[in-house]
Every structure is written in structure tokens, then in C-alpha cells.
Chains A and B, each alone.
Chain A
């Protein structure tokens, strides 16, 4: 089969799946198996693309060759197509998103049933649509296509955030839309139109497109302005001060927080930043103009501040949310360093952090389903009754902190290397401090679970029904996925070499 159609099938498949799910609402078992089958087939189609990309090819396809144009008369020259092109970074993101979607689908079925959530059909419909958004962002051939799917992702996840339908969810939904749509329409779109006006193209090109723009030559400050439009415009990257939506979105059911707010949505954000810096600005051009130095420090400040806030949060999901904000800034920092090690570390961190953080969220959800506990301070002694979950949590936490032999160690290594190459020692210090802070806010959780006893006086009473002793492990459909992702953290440590080679071309 022609590879370009595989791209289309991959992007269309979740939409098809969501249509099936919508029709199958009356039969929950059939509906849920449709979801899992779609996810499995998607992993298959995505894997077809991998060998070609490793071989150095970039399959591409134009869906709408003439979506926008600057000049109708000479339409052949100046036109913006809506289309896709698979390059290594996008491929990596697509692999991460589709594999984790499969695992999360299984987990979500267990969670939604175990937690007795309402409107499950609607939930799974939009859950599938969101993946189309993420894949569209991954495979976009130009900034316009990326923008299209970026907005699609925002809109398709809105019903998931407001899933509970109460006032709290609605308020979170407003913040969510307000910040994500607001920043993208106001800043990102302006940046895109401006880029088109300056460079006359929006294609992602190795080495960037902006260095060809004559108007930028004697205005280096304009490059910085454009970069700011892109980086702050990508609200999904949660760069401070546009991070408020992420903790707010934690009112959503945990699988949503896991897949979307640890993987697909936020990663789509940092992926956009990486991709724009590599293929629109060009790392060399950024180094020459020094336009990204401010961004390094914004990212550095964000990653430390968010870590500090995370320490003060008692709600487990909120703590993880701030941890995500902090980790996202690692990737933005890597991109802004604009050298091969930084970009490589940033790209790698997309995968490493995704697997680690999704494990943590899975565990948080499993704890919620099994024991209805949401606060860190309630977790004392939980390790005895939920040993598997808490062990997986520990593994995930180690990976996020960056302790070998977990995957997260490598990406942090490359990021640190990048700061040294760029000659930004203060940022190296920021990275190290942040790692220490990671330990400070993540490790208390397994420590409490395994080594502290439950403080409740009821612990000795045999007739206690609400105490920890009555808690069992979460349903199997919840526990298996989190074991898989936890072992993924380990496996990735040994696969780092392969990932590095895979991403090699983008660092050039």
C-alpha cells in the first residue's frame, strides 16, 4: 500500500472509531471493544510508517492543495496546502500518542466502569476525536495544518474537561477554552500570518524558513517578538503565565488527565514549540540572532516555580499537574537552547516524560477508584494494600525525577549537556535544583504509602469499613495498564540509543 494513504488512514481512523462508538452506545461491551480495536489498529498503521522514517524518507500527502493563498492570480506559487508530512520528531510524537492511547483506552474502560461515570459514550467519542487532533499536529506539513489540528484538539477535549457537568467543571472549562483559544487566536495566529507575510511560505523546512526573510535582516528584535508570539501563543505548552488551565483541567476524569493533560494535549503544545523552533526559525538562525535567550530564562523560571508550587499542593492530581508544567518547561528549555543536544534532549523528553507521567496519573486514578482518596496526606499506609500500584508509582516517580535506570535519566542528561554547550551555566543549576525539587514533591508519596502507618484511630477496629485495611487493588483493567507503562519507563532507558539515532536528523 502506498504510504501516503497510511498517513490519511491513521488520522481518519479515530474519527471513524468515534462514529462507531457513537452508534454503539446501547451495548457498552461492544462499544468498548470497538474503542480498543480502533486503538490497536491505529498502533498498527502508525508502525507501518516507522521503517520508512528510519530509512530517512518523509512520506507526504496534500489533502487540500489550495486551502489559503496569498495571491489568487499566481496561485501556483503562493498557496498554503492542508497536508501532512512525516518527519522523525512528528513520528516520535505519533508513536508515543498512539501507543499510550491504546493503553489508556483499556485503563479508561476500567476506570469509567469502576468509578461509575455517566455519559460514557460521549466520553469515548471525544476521547477518540482528541487523538485525531494529536496525530494531525504530529504529522502537519506546515504551520497552518498544525494550527488547524491544534484548535481541533482544544475543542474536542473541551467536553472531556467539563465531563461532570457541574459548576466546578464548567468553570474549569471556561478557563481551559479561554486560555487555550485565547492565546492561540491572539498570539499564535498572529505569528503564523506574520510568518507567511515575511517568508512567503509556511512549510516546515529543515534549517528553517525565516532566515530567508529580508525584512528580518536588520531587525533582530523582530525575531524575538515572533518567537514570543509562537511560544506564548502555544498555550498548551503551559509556559507561565499561561499555565492556569492545566491544574484546572484536573477536574476531568483521570484517564483524561492521564492521556490528554500529561501526554497528548500538553505534548502537542511543546511539540509545536520544538517544531516551530527547528523548522520555522531554524536553530542556527536562532543562535546567530540570540533571539531565544529570553525564552531559556522564562522556561527556567517556569520549571522552578512550578516545582515549588507542586510541593505546596496536597491534592495528588494537582501536584502532578504542576509537576507536568515544570517538566514541559524542560522541553521548551531544550528547544530554546537551539543546539543539537538541547533539541535532542527536548524531543526525547517528550517520550520519556509521557511514559513516566502517565504512570503517575494511572496510579492516582487507581487510588481514587479503589480507595476514593485524592489527597497526598491521606495516603499513609496505602502501600500495604495496593502494593502493585504504589510500586508502579515509585518507578514512574523515579523516571520523572531522572534517576537511572529509568528513561527520564537520558533526556535530562542531554538537556544538561545542551545548557553547557550553549554556555548557560545558570540554567544547568536550574535543572539540578528542579531535579532536587522533584524528589521533594514526588518521593513523599511512596514513602508515606510504604513506611508510614495510617493515622486514623480506627485502624485497630475490626468492624472498620472505610479504613485502609478494607481497600483492595483497583480493577484489573486499571492495574495492568499502569504496570505496562511502569515497565515502559525501564525499557526506555535501554532504548535511549535507538531514540537518539531516530531523532538524529532533527538536531542537524
Chain B
């Protein structure tokens, strides 16, 4: 009975829990409740992914309405994978944040914080699970609005301007997406993605000429609006300006959660639009979107990394590094131009990097959460010699940094390996070399922090007197995430198999 309703429970559990948080009010009740909810959500997504990987295709019609009129939830390996990423990150970040939140957000706002957090999670899960195009927009707004609220709760007053800038950019992005959806609906009369794809490729007679719907100017406009809109939400260079400040000044657990999931979900949406709805043939061959993506991806990688080197705030550094990593994701997608081995490899490199980078960046922001908890700032100048008093946190940072660089036996290496392999398979040796070159810039920005933390003497001797390391409730979730990045770097079979299946499904339906 329950098993059959799991897809909708994935959304319903956090959605209903959010208002309950407001009703509970007491911060002693809200925290365990929200954590429990996130763990249940995670359990649901584990079961769902397991069922998908067994070869089951899951489709759920909301309220029993046929998908043509009602909303359909549809799961393939890709969406199952992303669901798992979101819920797993949430279920680690929430217990991590308890101590931290006491120092970063006024206690009377805690119930609101948890409520917004659960809503944000609901929105992200919803975008991933739904098979209805308009529903995507609805969940996108839920997640974005709650994200603005979460970011604005940051201790630093600059959080407000950061949230405002994100609000402006994000609203433009979602409006573009809405316009795109509207235009597509105008031409096809359906919002169900599977149906939409089919109708877009149908042939119609217009003024004695037979054309396919997808060739019409309206659909071209829709395609443009959708890709640009999603690129804003994805923070693809040069539309990334909202991201660095938002991640820098948000409460640390929000930075960790959003960095690990929000851009990943936008990436998921990009894949859906390109491969499922419009198809490779149209997006990459007729529209040459892959060339645009490749150039922008490479620029994102280089500019993002280079700017990261000069950041004085480590959270800002990590944020710019995220911009660069998004570049890798997009670069990987740009290889997927057909159904050959190179395309499958490229796309699966992108999908596996989505998974790996969520772990890597999530755990790195968590280490900064520990620093924030202890020092009250993540400025590089305040972190001198911190490794002496916080050995576990800083060891985690070093491992996370090695992941970013892509040292073998870390998950960052797995992503890099398949990305390079795909580039070589496609015969694009300069691109492979450029991708490798950019990972050297990662060495520079990671090592800048490592040097300060390990070899300088503490700036403030009083800091080292009382509380030493972060509490266990923070260290354990952080090390689980770091450990996962090492385990999936060594035993890469699980993520790689899922990613490959997801890539194959996307490329099959697309071509």
C-alpha cells in the first residue's frame, strides 16, 4: 500500500512537515522533528532509487487523474539519483546545524528557519520528481522563495543584499522559465513532459507546408527562454553573479545545503529540457547549443577558479569554486551529442560529478560551518594556525580540497577521469588539456588555505584557550560526508553504474 504511494510521499512528508514546524514553535521540538523528517525522506529516496535500478519504471498519477490532465510524477535513474543526493545532504546537514544555528540565527526565528529549510527541500525534490512541466515551475518557486528567506537569515548584514540580488536574478530566471513553459504549452497543448516531447516532434501543416512543431519560431523562442532561464538558476558563467555572495553570507548550513543541491537540481532541469523535452537532435545539432555550453563551461572553469584564488573569505572561495565546478558539469554535457561511447561517457561524467560535487562542496561548506561556529568568521586572516586547535575539521578540509583538485582515490578524481576520457573519445584533446590545466588552479586556491591554516601561528592566542574542536554533533555528519567522498572515490562502481544508466536513458529518449 505505502510502497505504491512512495513517489508522492517523497514530496508530501517534507511539505506537510513545514507548517507543522510553525505550529510546534519550540526549538527543542522543531529540531528533532525536522531531522526525523529529513531522514524519512532520505529513506524514501533510497527505496525509490533501489526500485528504479532494479529496472522498474515508476510513474505516479496524482489524485488518480490521468497524466494528460493531472500531474504525473515520473522517475528514471537520473531523477532517482538526484532525489537521493538532495535528501541525503539534507539529512546530514540538519543534525550538523543544531549547534551552529544557535550562534548564527536568533533563537526566536529557529522554527521559521526549519520550516523554510523543509520547504526549500520540498521544492528541490519536487522539481526532480515531477513529470509535469508547469509543476516544475511551481516547485522552482517554492524552493527559490524559501532559499531567499534562508539566505537573508545570515548573521552578516551583507546577507540581505546578497539575498536581494539573488531574488532579482532568480525571479528573472524563473520568469524566463515560465515564459518558456507557456510558449511550449501554446504550441502543444500539454504540460506532461513525455507527451510534450512527442507532440513537439509531430508534423503539422501550416499554410500548405508541412513542418514539425519544434521548428516553429514560437518553440525556438521557448527554447531560448528556457535555456537562459535555467542557466541563471544554474549560475552558469556569465550568469553566476548572484551565487558567490549568496553562498558567502548565508548561514553556513544553508550554504552547505544550497551549494550541494540547488545548482545540482538546476543542472538536472537543464538535462531534462535538453535531452528529454527537446532532444539532442534539436538542441545540439540544429541549435548547436553544445558549442555554446562548451565555451561557457570552459570559461566558467577558468574564470571561476582564477577568481577563487584571490578570495579572502574561504566561503567566498568555495562559492567561486562552485562556479568553476558548474563549468565542468556543463562541459561534460556538451560532449553528449549522440548515442556513441563518447557521448555516454561525457554525460555520465557530468551526472557522476553532480553526485560527487554535492558531497565535496557540501562537506567543504560544513568544515567552514565548524570554523564559523568556533571563530565566528571564515576570513582567511582569522584562520591562521587553526589546524592546531581544530585538527579534525582541518583534516576534513584538506581531504575535501584534495577532492576538488581530483587527487586519485577521491571522488573528484572519478569525475575528472571520465570527463577526460570522454574528451579523448571525442577527439577533443585541447579540451581535455584545458580541463586538466584548470584543476591546477584548484591546487592554488586549496593550498592557499592549507598553508595559512597549517603553517602560520594563531593570530589570536585567546582563541586557542577554551573550546578546542567543534562538537561531535558537527564532526560526525561532516566526516560521514567526507568519508563518503573517499569511499565513492575508491569504490566508484555504484555512482558510476547509476550515472551510466541515467545517461543511457537520457540519450535513448532524446534521439
Contact = CB atoms under 8 A, between A and B. Distances in A.
Interface string B471-511: 00000000000000000001111001100110000000000
B425 interface: yes
18 contacts: A66-B492, A68-B492, A70-B345, A72-B497, A72-B501, A82-B409, A144-B408, A147-B408, A155-B402, A181-B405, A185-B405, A185-B439, A185-B440, A190-B420, A193-B421, A194-B424, A196-B421, A197-B421
Nearest to B442: A185
A15 B213 CA distance: 64
A197 B409 contact: no
Given A67-B490, A148-B408, A197-B421, A190 B436 contact: yes
A435 interface: no
A186 B406 CA distance: 12
A178 interface: yes
Contact of B420 (A144, A174, A193): A193
Contact of A72 (B409, B416, B437, B500): B500
Residue picked from B345, B405, B455, B497, most chain A C-beta under 10 Å: B455
A82 B439 contact: no
A170 interface: yes
A238 B286 CA distance: 49
Interface string B389-425: 0000000000000100111110000101100110011
A64 interface: yes
Interface string A433-444: 000000000000
A236 to B, nearest CB: 15
A103 B416 CA distance: 40
Contacts of B497: 72
Interface string A168-193: 00100110011001100110011001
A318 to B, nearest CB: 23
Nearest to B416: A189
B424 A197 contact: yes
Given A70-B345, A73-B500, A181-B440, 15 more contacts: A67-B490, A67-B491, A69-B496, A72-B497, A75-B493, A82-B490, A148-B409, A155-B407, A170-B451, A170-B455, A177-B443, A177-B447, A178-B443, A186-B437, A189-B416
Nearest to A69: B496
Contacts of A162: 455
B433 interface: yes
Given A162-B455, A196-B421, A185 B436 contact: yes
Nearest to B342: A197
A331 to B, nearest CB: 25
Contacts of B437: 186
B455 A165 contact: yes
Closest 7 pairs (CB-CB, A-B): A148-B408, A72-B500, A193-B420, A197-B424, A66-B493, A165-B455, A72-B497
A402 to B, nearest CB: 37
Contacts of B9: none
A151 interface: yes
A178 B443 CA distance: 8
Nearest to A82: B490
Interface of A: 64, 66-73, 75, 82, 144, 147-148, 151, 155, 162, 165, 170, 173-174, 177-178, 181-182, 185-186, 189-190, 193-194, 196-197
Given A72-B497, A151-B407, A170-B451, A66 B443 contact: no
A71 B497 CA distance: 9
Contacts of A186: 433, 436-437, 440
A182 B440 contact: yes
Contacts of A193: 417, 420-421, 424, 432
Nearest to A167: B455
A70 B424 CA distance: 12
Given A148-B408, A186-B437, A189-B420, A64 B443 contact: no
Contacts of B402: 155
Contact of B447 (A147, A151, A174): A174
Contacts of A69: 493, 496
Contacts of A64: 490-491
A196 B496 CA distance: 17
Contacts of A155: 402, 407
B443 A181 contact: yes
Interface of B is mostly: helix
Given A68-B414, A68-B492, A72-B497, A185 B421 contact: no
A288 to B, nearest CB: 24
Nearest to A188: B436
A75 B492 CA distance: 12
Contacts of A68: 414, 417, 492
A173 B421 CA distance: 31
B153 to A, nearest CB: 38
A187 B366 CA distance: 33
A213 B501 CA distance: 28
Nearest to A150: B408
Contacts of B440: 181-182, 185-186
Contacts of A194: 424
Contacts of B492: 66-68
A66 to B, nearest CB: 5
A178 B451 CA distance: 13
A490 to B, nearest CB: 40
A67 B491 CA distance: 6
A151 B433 CA distance: 19
B429 to A, nearest CB: 8
Contacts of A178: 443
A75 B420 CA distance: 19
A190 B455 contact: no
Contact of B425 (A173, A182, A197): A197
Nearest to B344: A71
A162 B447 CA distance: 13
A173 B490 CA distance: 27
Contact of B421 (A70, A72, A82, A170): A70
A148 to B, nearest CB: 4
A183 B467 CA distance: 42
A71 B402 CA distance: 26
A66 B491 contact: yes
Contacts of B432: 190, 193
Contacts of A181: 405, 440, 443
A72 B345 CA distance: 10
B143 to A, nearest CB: 32
A6 B497 CA distance: 33
A77 B425 CA distance: 18
Contact of A151 (B408, B417, B421, B500): B408
Interface string B454-473: 01000000000000000000
Interface string B304-348: 000000000000000000000000000000000000010001000
A17 B250 CA distance: 43
Nearest to A198: B424
Contacts of A66: 491-493
A174 B448 CA distance: 10
Nearest to B439: A185
B36 to A, nearest CB: 35
Contacts of A70: 345, 421
Contact of A182 (B414, B433, B443): B443
